[in-house]
Amino acid sequence: MDDGLHLDGSLFAPTEIAGLKLPNRLVMAPTVVNMADPDGTPSHRQIDYYRLRAEGGVGTIIVEATFVRCDGRMFSANLGLDQDSQIPRFRLLVEAIHRGGAVAGIQLFHAGRRANPEIIGNQPMAPSPIPCPLRQVMPRPLSLEEIEELALSFVSAAQRAHEAGFDLLCLHMAHGYLLHQFITPLANQREDRYGGDEEGRLRLPLEVIKGIRKRLGSRAVISVRISSEDGVEGGLKIEDTSRIAQKLIGAGADLLDVSYGFPGSIPSSSPSRDFPDGCFVPLAEKIKKATGAPVVAVGKIRSLALAEQVLREKRADLVALSRPLLADPELPRKWREGREEEVRRCTADNKGCLERIHQNLEVRCSVNPTLGRTSERQR
């Protein structure tokens, strides 16, 4: 099939997906920083944080997980797009990213059973009454009516994101959040039309994609982040996800962002220094071969040589970085200008970023002490 993405082997050559022009093939992966204002809109510091990374030369920025309903919050300073009143503030964020030279995407999510009950003020919800292994809070099962309302919440949030000017709409169906909870038998033991076999478990995720496509038509470019494997006994394997990915594309998704993991998996979705660089790339390659669709490779890609190799060997179509851009927002420019030795290199110790975020604290970085401050740019 023609996947709409034409490679010439260069990390910094422009390309396009579904008519959306990208200045290069480097993507800033969605990374929660916990800096939003209390109403879920981006703070001044958060806008500046994204602006610096756009100016640093990354081609596409996918703004972090943004809740589609307030009962889907996981962190106290989560971004949210559950109300029309939030649109103007997000428009400022999009404008800052565009001025910096990058395409603006946003990841839409609902935490489901991973929502923090102290933050949402209620019992978390899920497909089935099975607690998240990391939180051990018993969720309540969703009713059929509530599931239909959730699908509409995703569609409405996508429309708000589109009205705010986002170029790319990214649906979070990985890492054990609500849509992933429906997909995997680890969290979904329903016996109605939203559970049971693979067709039932995929019903809600497919309804969300189709609903966005119906609402926005070809104006929407839709990416889906998936876990290539759950990495937990009894969970989805790459063979399962390869089939699922084909159905996501068939429902209207344009791009697959191939990550890894489920709560409790080893490695996690953010592999530590104990795991090799690019450890999820082979899984992205398998999804690409199974679907013929454009894919994003992510997971501890920390060197120019590895990023170029992934593209040169056509193992993926785009390369996403997360923690390396926390460490050095100017990494892409330094790579492009042959100054890789000047890059402030991510150590993958996960101390300032992942560990703090899961304590509901603002992101920090072990090697970038100015992260999140307006003075962050290196002099």
Long-range pairs, 118-122, Cβ under 8 A, ≥24:
119/73, 119/74, 119/75, 119/76, 119/360, 120/70, 120/71, 120/72, 120/73, 122/71
- Average pLDDT value for residue range 356-367: 90
pLDDT tens, residue by residue, 120-129:
999 999 999 9
Domains of the chain: 25-357 (3.20.20.70)
Phi, psi of 284, rounded to the nearest 5 degrees: -60, -40
- What pLDDT does 276 receive? 82
Q: Is residue 9 scored above 80 in pLDDT?
A: no
User: Quick one: pLDDT band at residue 379, thresholds 50, 70, 90?
Assistant: very low
- What pLDDT does 358 receive? 86
Q: Is residue 73 scored above 90 in pLDDT?
A: yes
- What pLDDT does 355 receive? 84
- What pLDDT does 351 receive? 84
Chain mean position to CA 241: 17
**Could you tell me the pTM of the whole model?**
0.94
pLDDT over 70, % of the chain: 96
pLDDT tens, residue by residue, 297-318:
999 999 999 999 999 999 999 9
Q: What is the mean pLDDT of the chain?
A: 93
The sign of the CA dihedral 268, 270, 272, 274 is positive
User: Quick one: pLDDT band at residue 56, thresholds 50, 70, 90?
Assistant: very high
Q: Is residue 5 scored above 70 in pLDDT?
A: no
User: Quick one: pLDDT band at residue 374, thresholds 50, 70, 90?
Assistant: low
- Average pLDDT value for residue range 280-299: 97
- What pLDDT does 377 receive? 54
User: Quick one: pLDDT band at residue 350, thresholds 50, 70, 90?
Assistant: confident
260 noted as active-site residue: no
Q: CB of 58 within 8 A of CB of 102?
A: yes
- Comparing 2-16, 100-114, 177-191, 265-279, the range with the smallest average pLDDT is 2-16
pLDDT tens, residue by residue, 222-281:
999 999 999 999 999 999 999 999 999 999 999 999 999 999 888 777 776 778 888 899
- What pLDDT does 264 receive? 86
- Comparing 7-16, 66-75, 246-255, 295-304, the range with the smallest average pLDDT is 7-16
- Average pLDDT value for residue range 24-32: 97
User: Quick one: pLDDT band at residue 1, thresholds 50, 70, 90?
Assistant: very low
Q: What share of the chain is helix, strand, coil (3-state, %, to 5)?
A: 35, 15, 50
13 exposure class (CB count in 10 Å sphere: 0-12, 13-18, 19+) = middle
Query: Which one from 49, 50, 177, 260 is the annotated catalytic residue?
Result: 177
- What pLDDT does 63 receive? 99
